[in-house]
Amino acid sequence: MRTSAVIALLLLSIIPAVWGQQPLRAGPHLTAEELQSLHGAYDSRELQLLVTSSQGGAGERTRVVTLGPDYVAVASEDGQTIFDTKFKRLLQVDREAGAFYNNSLFAPAAFVERELEKRINLHKAVLRAGIKADKVPPNLKTFWIESDLGAEADRDAPLELERIEHDDGSVSVLFEREVVAIWSLSQIPLTLGLQQKLRLFMQYHLKLHPRLRRAILTEGKLPAEIQYRRFKGDQLQEENVRFALSQRRRAAFPLASDLESRPEPRSDAAFERDLYPVMVAAAVGREGRGPTTFPSYLAEARAAIGRGALLEAWLTLMEATLHYLPRSAICPEGTAGGSDCIGRQVVEDVLLEDERVREVQTALAMGQRAGKPKELIERLGRISRKGISKGYLLDVFRGNALSQRPDLLETFKLDPVALIASGIYASPYVPSFYRDLGDHFARNLDYVRAFLCWDLGRALPDGATNESLLSISALEADLERRFPEFF
């Protein structure tokens, strides 16, 4: 759970309301038919290419690459991949399973951001160890790191590349006096839109340095052939790629409408089998009785106070605040309780007199403010769940603390995913739980699942304005600004 959210509730503070709605999102909860409908009919044409490549002396591989108005489709014997540039989705088709995996285009960019930082830091560490720049292993040099990841790092010194234009119209580029790429262009013109779509294919399927890719496309013509060098592991290999125009035809979004949307299968099948369907059903408003309204939360809390179930009342106020962040279920300082909030005096004079409520408050304060997650996990684990129905909130708090301290996993023998998921199973319309689970996956560099959770959280009825998820939109904007080639 977000630290600011927990501290705000612990200190009985109030956060001013935020109004306004975000645009409708086309996330992983949509069916193939719904995606097709959102794209609608086109009155333009698509360009179909045959791209043949060979690598390191191996046999040739041919892919059919379709450049459409707002999509790029890549089909091969391995399956089909669709880059949906309108809704920033990465769709992978599994024909045998009759399914497609609907992921975010921001996921690979987020991974590359972290991986680029890690490798550049490794490069700097090698230099700090006293190894001279010309003796650094080639695959640890910045140029080759950037070529492998398709993104450039911030650099202090300019990248030195030498360009040679030949009489036959081909172009060579040298790095450290070695030819790293040579290409020739056809006479087939490409509009700016088609250049951008071809750039996207090259970004994900060719290990070319971003500057080389831009140099090839800047002439506005379809490449005829590209020969370039790339690292595969620690081995330098040569790849040869040829482009040929296949046909132009009327554009049609290339996703078959009878495919079933699923998450990518992983070894821990519980997420795919059990949790993900609950999250999707909630995103489309078909899980259980629907979301609990803010007045209903308040009514539950008042009823719990009336029967002396003070921890239940406290947890209900916590969930209400987390569900409707930045709205607080506790009245602002100096205002009396009413239909819109529980009076602060009631909280201080009634709820905080309960031993279990004070223990929860102390545990959360130790974890969030004192930086003692071990104590938080231990204390919340000892609290009796007798007479409460919202004990899953305590598990969510524990799961978040454990996620941020993986060194404690062996100590407690607990699974952060299972702990956080308990909140989603019990109350599947609370957007903050989706943020928490996505954050856990992101900490483990599983950005595919992270964005699945974040996207589904934002698709919930109250997800678009929930404060806990607003920063994900800011993250996406920053990724698109820093790495526009991925979109």
448 to 311, 432, 453: CA distances (angstroms): 37, 18, 9
Domain covering 3-26+267-486: architecture: Alpha Horseshoe (1.25)
Q: Flag whether pLDDT at 13 surpasses 80.
A: no
Cβ of 389: how many Cβ atoms within 10 Å? 13
Residue 183: exposed, middle, or buried by beta-carbon count in 10 A (0-12, 13-18, 19+)? buried
Averaged pLDDT score across all residues of the chain:
90
89 Cβ contact list (under 8 Å, min separation 6): 26, 35, 82, 102, 103, 104, 105
Q: Do 220 and 200 form a contact (C-beta atoms < 8 A)?
A: no
131-154 average pLDDT score: 88
CA torsion angle 198 52 248 71 (round to 10) = -40
Phi, psi of 279 (to 5 degrees): -65, -40
Neighbouring C-alpha atoms within 13 Å toward the C-beta of 199: 28
Residue extent(s) of CATH 1.25.40 domains in the chain: 3-26+267-486
Instruction: State residue 25's pLDDT score.
Output: 61
Strand arrangement, sheet containing 45-55:
161-165, 171-175, 178-189, 221-232, 235-250, 45-55, 61-67, 71-76, 79-84, 89-94, 99-104, 260-262
In a 13 Å sphere around the CA of 120, the CA atoms on its Cβ side amount to 17
- Cis amide bond preceding 373, omega within 30: no
CA angle 73, 76, 79 (to 5 degrees): 80
For the record, the structure tokens of 191 come out as 């509009």
* Whether the predicted pLDDT of 21 surpasses 50: no
Q: At CA 244, angle to CA 239 and CA 245, rounded to 5?
A: 150
C-alpha 293: how far from chain center: 28
pLDDT digits (tens, 9 = 90+) for 236-276: 899 999 999 999 999 999 999 999 999 988 877 788 889 99
Cβ–Cβ < 8 Å for 321, 327: yes
Residue 142 three-state SS: helix
pLDDT band at 14 (very low <50, low <70, confident <90, very high): very low
Integer CA distances (angstroms), 19 to 52, 168, 458, in order:
52, 62, 15
Q: What is the pLDDT of residues 175-193, one digit of tens each?
A: 999 999 999 999 999 999 9
Strands 260-262 and 99-104: parallel
- Token pair for 201: 């294919």
Q: What is the pLDDT of residues 356-367, one digit of tens each?
A: 999 999 999 987
Q: Read off the pLDDT band of 6 (50, 70, 90).
A: very low
Task: Note the pLDDT of residue 370.
Answer: 61
- SS3 state of residue 245: strand
pLDDT per residue as tens digits for the range 72-94: 999 998 889 999 999 999 999 99
Return the higher-pLDDT residue of 12 and 376: 376
For residue 22, what pLDDT is reported? 38
Buried b / exposed e over 39-62, threshold 16 CB at 10 Å, is beeeeeebbbbebebebeeeeeee
> How far apart are the C-alpha atoms of 236 and 296, rounded to whole Å?
63
